Amino acid sequence: MIVLGWGRQREGTRTWAMATFRLIRKWRSQPKASVVSIVVWSVLIVGVIGWDLLSFALQSPSFPTLSTLVGHVSRYPVGRGLLFAAWLAVGWCVVAGCRAGSRR
């Protein structure tokens, strides 16, 4: 593949690196609230994925998966109601954040 693709790249390394640099600079010029929300959501998503990967890799009952923890809470009707309310609250925050961003 290296031999077949040699010289077929449209952009050189310098052009690609400068485009990446410009993208990062543009991203950093966003409003502070947008940058913070992206960082927070990224940390949460990476944390959830990391937790599950680690718990599956360890296969230890002392480090349960997230589905096990949610199963303990959703076993009871009150727990299911609280999880549903949390799900609605997160959805509302996402939608309200998107609508606030579109008004600007």
In the 8-state DSSP scheme, what is residue 29? T
Q: What is the mean pLDDT of each run of 10 residues along the chain (104 residues)?
A: 60 77 78 78 90 87 84 93 92 74 56
Contact present, 66 and 84 (Cβ < 8 Å): no
Instruction: Give me the residue spans of the domains in the chain.
Output: 32-103
Residue 30: its pLDDT value, please?
A: 76
3-state secondary structure of 40: helix
- Residue 51's closest CA among 33, 69, 38? 69
